[in-house]
C-alpha cells in the first residue's frame, strides 16, 4: 500500500491534486470546502483515520517554522509551497494515517504508562542539571514546536503504534524455542494406521429388535428422547414507540419547539467568491491593483498581471463559516458585484470580489410541522414511559393480574407457550428476545420480573 502511494504521488495526476491543495491553502488556510469535500470538512480519509484542514494547517505551519529556523525569518509560506513543502506535509500525514489505521485494525494499543515512559526518557525534556524529566522544558519545547500537550501525547501514542507496524515488517521474526520445536514436530509428524471395510451383505440378516432390546436402548440413551424444558409465559412490553400514537401536542408547544430548533431549518447565505492574492510584502502593489479596479479595469486582467490563473481566482461558493475568519467579514460586507479593498491576513494581501449572492432562507413552521410534531411526541413518550413503568410495577405489587396491569398502562401482552431455553420467544418477534429468554429461565414458577 505504501509503495502504491509513493508511485501515485509521483504521477502527474497526484501533482495536480497536491497543486489544488496548495492553492487552496494559500487562499484560505486550507479550507475543506475548497477541496470539494462536501460537509466532511476533511482533506483525506484513510479508513477511520481522517486528515482535517486544521490538522494539515498546523502540520504545515510547523514545517514552515522549521524552515525559518534554517533560512531566516523572511522565509514565507509561498516559498515553502514552491519548494514542495506542502506536498511533503500531505504525503507525510497520509503515510502516518495509513500506519495508524493498520495498527488499529490489527489491535495494536499503547498504554498511558508506555507513552509516559517514552516522553520521560527523551533527553530533549530532561533538566541538564539533574538528568531528570523537566515539565518546564517539556512545555517550552511544545510551545516552540506549535503543539498542545494533548496533541503531542496523542502524536507520541500514534507514532509508537505505527513503529510497531513498521518493526513487524522490517525486523527479523523471532519465536521461542518451544514454539519452534512444536512447529517442526507438527510439520514433520508421521503416522501409521490401519482400516477395515464392511460389506453391506454382512448386515442383510440382522434380526428385528424385541421389546426388551428397544427398552434397554431407550433407557441407555434417554437424553436423545427427552424434550427440553419449556415454559409458558405471559410477557408485557412497553416502549416509547407504542406510546407515540397516544401522545398529543399543543400549538403552543409546537411553536416553542420550532423557535428552539429554528437553526436546524436555516440555510445560510452563500456567496460566489473571487480573489487576487499578493504576498505579505506587496501591500503597495495590492493597493495599486485595487485603484485600477475602481477605475474600471477588468478583474481577471488585473489578476493575470499579478501572476494568477483563472482557476486560482475563481474560488467557488461559500458560507460565512467556510472562509478564513480574517476574510469573512470583508467578504460578507460586500454588495453583489462588489470589490473589497486589500485585506491583510497571515497569508498576504487579498482583494475580494463577490460576483453573485444566494440569500439564506429559513423553512417555515408549516414546512417542518411534521418534523416538529414527531420530535415532540417522541420526547413526551420517552418521558412518560418511566411513570407508566412505575404504575405498572405498583399494580403488580397490589396483586393485579399482569394482563390487567398491562392494559391499564397501554402495554402489549404476549402469551408465549412452550418457550425453550436459548430458542427465542416461541416464534414471537420481540425486541430483546435473547435477553428476555435468559430472564425467563432465571425465574421460579409463578414469579414476575422486570427487564
Question: pLDDT tens digit string along 359-407?
Answer: 999 999 999 999 999 888 888 888 888 888 888 888 888 888 888 888 8
* Lowest mean pLDDT across 64-68, 228-232, 241-245, 330-334: 64-68
- Look up the pTM and report it: 0.41
Burial class, 196, CB count within 10 angstroms (exposed 0-12 / middle 13-18 / buried 19+): exposed
**Percent with pLDDT over 90 in the chain:** 17
> In this structure, what C-alpha cell is assigned to residue 140?
517550552
Assigned C-alpha cell, 350: 487579498
Position with higher pLDDT, 201 vs 451: 201
Domains 2-170 and 269-359 share a fold: no
pLDDT for position 27: 35
Query: Span 147-168, mean pLDDT?
Result: 78
Q: What pLDDT is stored for residue 41 in this prediction?
A: 54
Cα–Cα nearest to 271, from 342, 354, 185: 354
Taking the C-alpha atoms of residue 133 and residue 137, their distance in angstroms, rounded to an integer, is 8
Choose which CATH entry (3.40.50.2300, 3.40.50.2000, 3.40.190.10, 3.10.50.40) describes domain 269-359.
Answer: 3.10.50.40
| Domain residue ranges of the chain, discontinuous segments joined by + | 2-170, 232-250+366-440, 269-359
**Structure confidence at residue 115 (pLDDT):** 83
**pLDDT of amino acid 273:** 92
In degrees, rounded to 5, the angle at the alpha carbon of residue 406 between the alpha carbons of residues 402 and 409 is: 145
Q: Please give the CATH superfamily to which domain 2-170 belongs.
A: Porin chaperone SurA, peptide-binding domain (1.10.4030.10)
What is the C-alpha end-to-end distance of the chain, expressed in Å?
49
Most confident option among 24-28, 139-143, 154-158: 154-158
Residue pLDDT, tens place only, 166-194: 776 666 666 677 777 888 888 888 888 89
- In sequence order, which residues have a C-beta less than 8 Å from that of residue 356 and are 6 or more positions away? 271, 272, 336
- 17 pLDDT more than 60: no
By C-alpha distance, which of 71, 79, 87 is closest to 10? 87
Amino acid at each position: 500500500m505504501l509503495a502504491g502511494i509513493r508511485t501515485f504521488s509521483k504521477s502527474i495526476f497526484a501533482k495536480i491534486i497536491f497543486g489544488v491543495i496548495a492553492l487552496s491553502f494559500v487562499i484560505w488556510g486550507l479550507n475543506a470546502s475548497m477541496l470539494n469535500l462536501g460537509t466532511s470538512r476533511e482533506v483525506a480519509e484513510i479508513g477511520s483515520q481522517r486528515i482535517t484542514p486544521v490538522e494539515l494547517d498546523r502540520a504545515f505551519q510547523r514545517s514552515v517554522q522549521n524552515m525559518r529556523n534554517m533560512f531566516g525569518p523572511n522565509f514565507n509560506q509561498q516559498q515553502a509551497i514552491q519548494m514542495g513543502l506542502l506536498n511533503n506535509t500531505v504525503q507525510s500525514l497520509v503515510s502516518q494515517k495509513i500506519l495508524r489505521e493498520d495498527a488499529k485494525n490489527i489491535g495494536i494499543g499503547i498504554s498511558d504508562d508506555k507513552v509516559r515512559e517514552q516522553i520521560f526518557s527523551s533527553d530533549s525534556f530532561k533538566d541538564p542539571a539533574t538528568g531528570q524529566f523537566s515539565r518546564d522544558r517539556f512545555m517550552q519545547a511544545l510551545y516552540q514546536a506549535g503543539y498542545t500537550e494533548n496533541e503531542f501525547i496523542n502524536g507520541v501514542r500514534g507514532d509508537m503504534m505505527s513503529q510497531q507496524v513498521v518493526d513487524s515488517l522490517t525486523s527479523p521474526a523471532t519465536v521461542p524455542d518451544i514454539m519452534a520445536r512444536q512447529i517442526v514436530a507438527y510439520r514433520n509428524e508421521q503416522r501409521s494406521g490401519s482400516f477395515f471395510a464392511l460389506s453391506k451383505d454382512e448386515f442383510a440378516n440382522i434380526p428385528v429388535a424385541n421389546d426388551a432390546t428397544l427398552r434397554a436402548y431407550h433407557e441407555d440413551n434417554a437424553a436423545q428422547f427427552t424434550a427440553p424444558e419449556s415454559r409458558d409465559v405471559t410477557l408485557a412490553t412497553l416502549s416509547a414507540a407504542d406510546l407515540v400514537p397516544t401522545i398529543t401536542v399543543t400549538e403552543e408547544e409546537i411553536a416553542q419547539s420550532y423557535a428552539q430548533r429554528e437553526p436546524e431549518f436555516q440555510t445560510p447565505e452563500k456567496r460566489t467568491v473571487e480573489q487576487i492574492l499578493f504576498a505579505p510584502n506587496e501591500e503597495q502593489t495590492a493597493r495599486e491593483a485595487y485603484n485600477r479596479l475602481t477605475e474600471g479595469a477588468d478583474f481577471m486582467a488585473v489578476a493575470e498581471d499579478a501572476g494568477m490563473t483563472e482557476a486560482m481566482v475563481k474560488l467557488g461558493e461559500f458560507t460565512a463559516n467556510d472562509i478564513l475568519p480574517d476574510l469573512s467579514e470583508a467578504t460578507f460586507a460586500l454588495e453583489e458585484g462588489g470589490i473589497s479593498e486589500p485585506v491583510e491576513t497571515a497569508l498576504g494581501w487579498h482583494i475580494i470580489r463577490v460576483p453573485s449572492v444566494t440569500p439564506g432562507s429559513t423553512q417555515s413552521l408549516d414546512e417542518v410541522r411534521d418534523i416538529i410534531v414527531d420530535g415532540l411526541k417522541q420526547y413526551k413518550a420517552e418521558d412518560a414511559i418511566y411513570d407508566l413503568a412505575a404504575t405498572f410495577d405498583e399494580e403488580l405489587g397490589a396483586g393485579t393480574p399482569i394482563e390487567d396491569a398491562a392494559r391499564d398502562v397501554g402495554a402489549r401482552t404476549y402469551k408465549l407457550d412452550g418457550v425453550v431455553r436459548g430458542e427465542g420467544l416461541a416464534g414471537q418477534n420481540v425486541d430483546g428476545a435473547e435477553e428476555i429468554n435468559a430472564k425467563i429461565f432465571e425465574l421460579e414458577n409463578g414469579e414476575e420480573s422486570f427487564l
